Chains A and B, each alone.
Chain A
Amino acid sequence: MFALRAVSKSYAGQSVLGPLSLDLPAARTTVLIGPSGCGKSTLLRLLLGLVGPDAGVVTFDGQPVTPATAQAVRLRVGYVVQDGGLFPHLTARGNVTLMARHLGRARDPINARVNELAELTRFPADGLDRHPHQLSGGQRQRVGLMRALMLDPDALLLDEPLGALDPLVRTELQSELRDIFRRLNKTVVLVTHDLGEATFFADWVVLLRDGRVIQEGSPRDLWHRPADPFVTRFVQAQRGPEVPT
């Protein structure tokens, strides 16, 4: 679905990504993982055309993503960020339907779609007319997901979607999200720095460090066949609770 060829990106002379080539195949959940500043969020922005590459080509469905085509790409791709990225002046419903209303879609199909999504994301119906600050963190995240799914996109990009949630809500949402991904069968690209979360979601894991791909493969590959010592260290750095016996 997405492909990057020899892509590099730097900010103010500081290289943050690449050169890097990567394929993100359709109908699969790919997780981009790596330490802070490894370039994983920049990679998502490149996919949406929110930033342009300094060199190389990003393609979506075979077409290059350029400033001219970015708008069309974004209509076919849903984007979810940490804490939902909701607009505080709109209600949950207003946030979810913003783009559909801008496109002039009829009111009834919009409402039907909202109800369908509320059910899918288990979002309470009475919360639809609340403003973001009246919702819990988990609920805001669900609204963010609904907004991304509103136009029934081909692909879904999620940037640390669960980063701001407490562990209980996070675990609950993780399983719900995985169910949703499986049910929708869309191309999903998820960014996280949590290996547990990555292995929970991923069909395919891409480990990034300093803007380069260190290793990609199934979660099992990463665990059992680390490509270099950094992978080993990264995998082992994820610790479970340390309980005195």
Chain B
Amino acid sequence: MRISTTLLWVFLAVLAAVVVTTPGCTRPVKRPVVVGAKKFTESVILADMGTQLARQGGAEARRDDLGGTPALWLALTQGDIDAYPEYTGTITRQILKAEPPDLAAALAAHGVRISRPFGFRNNYALGMRKDVAAANGITKVSDLRGRPELRLGFIHEFLDRPDGWPGVKRHYDLPQTNVQGMNHTLAYRALVEKAIDVTEVYTTDGEIAQYDLLVLDDDRHFFPAYEAVWLYRADLVDRHPTVVDQLRRLEGRITETKMQRMNAAVQAGKRTEGAVAVEFLRSELGVEVESSDGTLAGRVLTSTREHLLLVVPSLLAAVLVAVPLGVAAARWPRTGRVILAAAGVLQTLPSLALLLFMIPVMMWLTGKGTGAPPAIAALFLYSLLPVVRNTHTGLTGIPVSLRESVAALGLPPLAALWRVELPLAAVTILAGVRTAAVINVGTATLGGFIGAGGYGRPILRGIDKFDVPLMLEGAIPAALLALTIEGLFGLIERACPRNR
């Protein structure tokens, strides 16, 4: 049992050392340039190009896949990322919620700059099979007016939005009544199988090239422009002027057709975003680079490091807080009931809800609402209960006769706790830490939802793209890590002689 206590402290010391020495916990003087990406193919391809170009500009750079527009904008203004690809329509409608006369000036107020457009638009548009369109003599949206019998299929959101179907219908005075709501991928299938005649498309969808569809000309300019641009932090110009120059090399260089082909290469051709980005840079800009996707081993190593950076600090903090809480709970039974109930309530919260709840909390506490800190905070809260409860159980389970023996020796309460009670409870406490660690490793994968990195990133990307190997790239190492931790704790526990 003496060995077990020693081992427990050695284990905690190693954890502490890992946290202190791991890069990322202490902010380096010159941190790398981070290019953000939304979680869809086109954004990832563009961000990957940005990462490669930033390296061309002589900076250390990496890509970070964060999620949706709000998360990216938050990360950009907080300084978690330095640049990301965005669309002008999204900037005015979703971010600024205004149509300022001078977009650059409006963004400058947030410390953000905007590049000139890359050259392609990712607009809403209406698409048809080329043969069906030709048979009906249709090339532009206004041609649809003379064909009321055409069958239309849209995603539900497009059906309801004023800037979707209702707006198009009014703007062009369209007569069609056979309109159904369906899933985007299904709509493409239905169009190809001639189950419907018209659907809405994003002008850079890979499917347009893949199925050789006709995008109807928006001849009366109903749809707003979604020009692709860079948004980057104003301070990036001072920190890495060459990086900004490199990023802006994409201005005016990507046509809609090229973007469609690249999207199709990833979606249909199952190539990686990184490979597609590298190929574009090589053929269009003459930039010779290595794919930033790296090797499988490299990627797994990176996610493992990120995952451990979530698990280790949160677990360590939980142990440091939960053991004293457990001691308090054992010493003062009434307070103990409150502590155990509170820790129990935390455990009943769905982990994803707790994670999302931590975003505003950490925003308020540290001014940084995305990435690792909220994930670590949530994992910390989640790891408390098993350790608190086992510490409490371990201490209250010590036979009364032993506790009297300690007191009768004249050992003061703190010394009794340290020299006798905690060592006696060590095996139980260790079992609690073991449970917390395994739960922690599993729950940490949800950190992918808020851009915290780790094994959750490939898992979530894999789900988005329905790419099973990519999902497994996160899921298998996560399972292995959990097993490894189980094994390690098993070894530590076996090293403790059972003395009771």
User: Which of A13-21, A79-87, A174-182, A233-241 interfaces with chain B?
Assistant: A79-87
Known contacts A79-B405, A85-B405, A102-B419: does B410 contact A132 (CB below 8 Å)?
no
Identify the 5 closest CB pairs spanning chains A and B, nearest first: A89-B1, A74-B410, A85-B405, A88-B499, A79-B408
A169, B1: Cα distance in complex, Å:
29
B-contacting residues, A38-54, CB 8 Å: 45, 48, 50
Minimal Cβ-Cβ distance residue in B for A157: B408
Instruction: Beyond A48-B408, A50-B404, A71-B412, list 20 extra A-B contacts (CB 8 Å).
Output: A48-B407, A71-B410, A72-B410, A74-B407, A74-B408, A74-B409, A74-B410, A79-B405, A79-B409, A81-B405, A85-B401, A87-B420, A87-B424, A88-B499, A89-B2, A90-B2, A99-B409, A133-B499, A133-B500, A147-B409
- Enumerate chain B residues within 8 angstroms of A81, measured Cβ to Cβ: 401, 404-405
- Asked if A186 is an interface residue, CB under 8 A from chain B, the answer is no
B-contacting residues, A67-100, CB 8 Å: 71-72, 74-75, 79, 81-82, 85-90, 94, 98-99
B residues bordering A, Cβ < 8 Å? 1-2, 5, 401-402, 404-412, 415, 419-420, 423-424, 426, 497, 499-500
Complex partner residue of A98 from B1, B402, B419, CB under 8 angstroms: B419
A87, B417: Cα distance in complex, Å:
13
A99, B409: Cα distance in complex, Å:
7
A89-B411 in contact (CB<8A)? no
A85-B499 in contact (CB<8A)? no
- Asked if A131 is an interface residue, CB under 8 A from chain B, the answer is yes
A111, B409: Cα distance in complex, Å:
19
B405-A87 in contact (CB<8A)? yes
Complex partner residue of B499 from A45, A72, A131, A147, CB under 8 angstroms: A131
B395 to chain A, nearest CB (A): 14
The 8 A CB mask of A50-70 against B (1 = contact, 0 = none) is 100000000000000000000
A132, B497: Cα distance in complex, Å:
12
B402-A87 in contact (CB<8A)? yes
A152 to chain B, nearest CB (A): 13
Complex partner residue of B410 from A45, A75, A90, CB under 8 angstroms: A75
- Enumerate chain B residues within 8 angstroms of A82, measured Cβ to Cβ: 401
B497-A102 in contact (CB<8A)? no
A133, B497: Cα distance in complex, Å:
10
Minimal Cβ-Cβ distance residue in B for A150: B409
B409-A89 in contact (CB<8A)? no
Minimal Cβ-Cβ distance residue in A for B499: A88
- Enumerate chain B residues within 8 angstroms of A79, measured Cβ to Cβ: 405, 408-409
- Enumerate chain B residues within 8 angstroms of A71, measured Cβ to Cβ: 410, 412
A105, B173: Cα distance in complex, Å:
99
B-contacting residues, A102-134, CB 8 Å: 102, 131-133
- Enumerate chain A residues within 8 angstroms of B426, measured Cβ to Cβ: 89
A79, B5: Cα distance in complex, Å:
27
- Enumerate chain B residues within 8 angstroms of A87, measured Cβ to Cβ: 402, 405-406, 420, 424
B409-A132 in contact (CB<8A)? no
B499-A98 in contact (CB<8A)? no
B-contacting residues, A125-150, CB 8 Å: 131-133, 147
B382 to chain A, nearest CB (A): 31
A79, B411: Cα distance in complex, Å:
13
Minimal Cβ-Cβ distance residue in B for A99: B409
A161 to chain B, nearest CB (A): 13
A50-B408 in contact (CB<8A)? yes
A35, B411: Cα distance in complex, Å:
32
B403 to chain A, nearest CB (A): 10
A86, B499: Cα distance in complex, Å:
11
B405-A99 in contact (CB<8A)? no
The 8 A CB mask of A4-42 against B (1 = contact, 0 = none) is 000000000000000000000000000000000000000
Minimal Cβ-Cβ distance residue in A for B421: A87
Known contacts A133-B499, A133-B500: does B1 contact A88 (CB below 8 Å)?
yes
A190 to chain B, nearest CB (A): 15
A-B contact pairs, 30 of them (CB 8 A): A45-B404, A48-B407, A71-B412, A72-B410, A74-B407, A74-B410, A79-B405, A79-B408, A79-B409, A81-B404, A81-B405, A82-B401, A85-B401, A85-B404, A87-B405, A87-B424, A88-B1, A88-B500, A89-B420, A89-B424, A89-B426, A94-B2, A98-B411, A98-B419, A98-B420, A102-B419, A131-B497, A131-B499, A133-B499, A133-B500
A79, B401: Cα distance in complex, Å:
12
A130 to chain B, nearest CB (A): 11
